[in-house]
Structure 1
Amino acid sequence: MKNEGHIINNDNVLGDIDLIQGIVDAAPGMLYVIELQNMQMVYANEKVLSLFGKTLEELSQMGVKLFDKFVFHEDRERFDAHISDLLSSEPGDVKELTFRLLNAAGRPTWVRTRRTIYKTDDHGKPTHVISLSQDVSREMELMELKAQLEEEKRLLKEEKQLEIFRAILSTQEEERQRISESLHNGLGQLLYGVKLNLSTLNTQLAAANPESFLETKQYTSQLLDEGIKETRRISHQLMPTVLNDFGIRAAIEDVCHKMEAKIMFSFDFEGLALLKPKYLELAVYRTVQELVLNIGKHAKATHAKITLKVKPHLIYINVCDNGVGFDINKNGYKGIGLRSIRDKISLLKGFMKVSSRAGRTEIDINIPISTK
């Protein structure tokens, strides 16, 4: 057998033109050849003709206007730069471009095109370019959808972070307001009382009415004792010394003990030695403290149970009471102090579930413990 023009010469093979035509028609995309001198399309397979809705003769007659008409205007600059890059490339180099062509209906169609110099003249100057293009519109749509979803995810994350930031600021402001009221109405009033009594304690009163002097002196001393206690109370609220001195169990029991006049508390603790580092212990304490205060303020309960179980990779908190409950669908996390708790748990990458009905409100919290 003998090779002639890259075609094996035997009786089972059709002529060169028919074989080439069959190959290009079977190609998985749009195949066309542009003659550069007149910028004419000299060959196009059926997929190209179908995209533009024109015959090869019509496309060839358009010359350079073909690109003016069918290359999407926003991509024209990149298209021209791509052609310039191709014409200055080495023989055999393949250049790729993803851009939009306008189809027969005038709608943009994304194509990914690979081009190379097909023929050159005797001086090595390119005369023909061959291009193979594939419709990648669906791929581009999916990429755009992915980018849109990622942007929406980013915006949601920013909104969530902003929501958490607002909640933290709100919580801090409420805490400052509470401390301000404690200082003004508690410690401030006691100190003012001390000042008034001290102004009456003088040598004249001592000489004229010793009993009144001693009574005023004793009362002033009592006010100072109350002021010291109030200072300790405020200090304890700001930084729970019992937590540092005796641990999380004693700190939680201490919070509940202050409310035992109207609510009976029971406890279930497990694995508390695993509750580390310190910031996590403090976060758990503050969470339970806020939940206990919510029960005292809103639940009208007679009994409540605190469960705190710590495992190597998870902290589980459960707080339930037998109070009046509330409508979750109506109130959600608003008005009962749960929103700030939820946002704190979210910052710790945890999860909080709330269920409530008359006679039972239950809050489940799971917080992962990072091993990093």
Structure 2
Amino acid sequence: MNDSHHTDQPLFKGIADAVPGMLYIIELTGMKMVYANQKVLDLFGRTLEELSAMGPSLFDHVVYPPDRTRFDAHIVELLTSPVGHVAELSFRLLNHKGEPTWLRTRRTIFQWDNEGNPTHVISVSQDISAEIQLQEVNERIALERKRLKEEKELEVIRAVLSKQEEERDRIAESLHNGLGQLLYGAKLGLLALEPEPEQAFREKKTYALELLDESIIQTRRISHQLMPIVLNDFGLKAAIEDTYRKMNTDVNFSLQMTAGKKIAPQYIELAVFRIVQELVLNVGKHAAAKNCQIKVDIAEKHVNIHVSDDGKGMTNAQHSDGVGLRAIRDKVSLLKGQMDIYSQPGDTAISINIPYRSSPN
């Protein structure tokens, strides 16, 4: 075929120059450009003769290197496609200034030789650089909005957990300095009495002392639950162990903890402790279990909590409506974590995953 057979015709040239984009024809045998409208020539700052003379090296010069693999795959797809197939590709070409320009190109084979082999490809391209830039701006805006939303949610989490701890500290201090001291003083007052040796009085005194002893024990227990002093002084593992060791229960607790990182920020560590503490208390109070295994794995960017027991199990209603579990589920949700529950008689397991920022130990 004569490459200029159609392209020299005034009608073709008029249509090609009127196309709202770039139009060019590649002759496949020599991989050279045999026609290009003015918009293509303006993009590369060269004449058609110069572009044609470059032959196959043209694409080495003008295809943006990071897009070359996709460009070559696109050409292979086109050459092996059925008659009438139109292949589309968005990629970058280097303009006459060496700057990448985004194009959306549609190509099709429009001529074959006598043996049915494709000989000429016609391409129509549109400059979509402005569209891509707008898309990138929108993506940056979306990412910034997501970041601001996450920061705001994080502030809410901090505020909620901080308020809870402030309230716990206030109650603990009030119990310790108020009720606890008052009960202890009452006990000392009773011990100082020198009653006449009357059996009834002695029995009342003994009963009153027993009540006061129990009140003091309960006050200390509540204070311990409200103020995680061990957590602050000795760390998460010691605080969890301290929780179940001070429980009045026959459950045999065991703790396995792996920590390659230190949980950060600190309120996440406090939240993890509160969650494990609540799970341990639930097992001790309600599970009727003989054994309970606690596993805490502090990985690179998340904490895995797994608490299992061999108790009586939970009903579906307890899964959803139990006050303790609901409080844990709310806290896990606030922390963007995930909670799964499996329960049947003799085998109950609760698994929790909480993301966090890690810092070197």
Structure 1 residue 48 corresponds to structure 2 residue 44: no
Q: 1:3 aligns to what?
A: none
Structure 1 residue 206 corresponds to structure 2 residue 200: no
Distance in 2 (alpha carbons) for counterparts of 1:146 and 1:58 = 39
- Flag structure 2 segments of 5+ consecutive residues without an equivalent: 1-5, 227-333, 335-361
Aligned ranges 1:51-70 → 2 under 5 Å:
51-70=43-62
The offset of 1:161, in angstroms, is: 1.0
Q: 2:93 aligns to what?
A: 101
For these two proteins, the number of residue pairs brought into alignment is 207
Structure 1 residue 173 corresponds to structure 2 residue 165: yes
1:114-133 deviation digits (Å, cap 9, x = unpaired)? 00002111111111110000
Runs of 4+ in 1 over 4 A off after TM superposition: none
Distance in 2 (alpha carbons) for counterparts of 1:126 and 1:132 = 18
Aligned ranges 1:107-126 → 2 under 5 Å:
107-126=99-118
Distance in 1 (alpha carbons) for counterparts of 2:54 and 2:190 = 106
Structure 1 residue 38 corresponds to structure 2 residue 27: no
Residue 195 of structure 2 aligns to a residue whose secondary structure is: helix
Aligned ranges 1:111-260 → 2 under 5 Å:
111-201=103-193, 205-207=194-196
Distance in 1 (alpha carbons) for counterparts of 2:183 and 2:80 = 90
Distance in 1 (alpha carbons) for counterparts of 2:28 and 2:191 = 107
- Residue type matched to 2:88 in 1? E
- Residue type matched to 1:114 in 2? R
Structure 1 length normalisation: TM-score? 0.51
Residue 165 of structure 1 aligns to a residue whose secondary structure is: helix
- Residue type matched to 1:171 in 2? K
Distance in 2 (alpha carbons) for counterparts of 1:52 and 1:16 = 21
Stretch of structure 1 that moved more, 16-25 or 43-52: 16-25
1:30-69 deviation digits (Å, cap 9, x = unpaired)? 0000011111000000000000000111111111111111
The offset of 1:163, in angstroms, is: 1.1
The offset of 1:78, in angstroms, is: 0.6
Q: 2:67 aligns to what?
A: 75
Q: 1:91 aligns with which of 78, 83, 86?
A: 83
Structure 2 length normalisation: TM-score? 0.53
Shift in CA distance, 16/40, structure 1 to aligned 2, threshold 3 Å: closer
Shift in CA distance, 138/63, structure 1 to aligned 2, threshold 3 Å: same
Distance in 2 (alpha carbons) for counterparts of 1:16 and 1:73 = 33
- Residue type matched to 1:69 in 2? H
1:214-251 deviation digits (Å, cap 9, x = unpaired)? 9xx7xx89x98xx89xx9xx9xxx9xxxxxxxxxxxxx
The offset of 1:198, in angstroms, is: 3.0
- Residue type matched to 1:81 in 2? A
- Residue type matched to 1:116 in 2? T
Shift in CA distance, 75/131, structure 1 to aligned 2, threshold 3 Å: same
Q: 2:322 aligns to what?
A: none
CA RMSD across the alignment: 3.0
Amino-acid identity (%):
62
- Flag structure 1 segments of 5+ consecutive residues without an equivalent: 1-6, 8-14, 239-346, 348-372
Residue 191 of structure 2 aligns to a residue whose secondary structure is: helix
Residue 207 of structure 1 aligns to a residue whose secondary structure is: coil
The offset of 1:16, in angstroms, is: 7.8
Instruction: Compare CA radii of gyration and give the structure with the larger one.
Output: 1
Aligned ranges 1:335-350 → 2 under 5 Å:
none
Q: 2:19 aligns to what?
A: 27
The offset of 1:19, in angstroms, is: 1.2
1:141-199 deviation digits (Å, cap 9, x = unpaired)? 11111111111111111111111111111111101111111110111111211221232
Distance in 2 (alpha carbons) for counterparts of 1:83 and 1:115 = 9
Shift in CA distance, 16/46, structure 1 to aligned 2, threshold 3 Å: closer
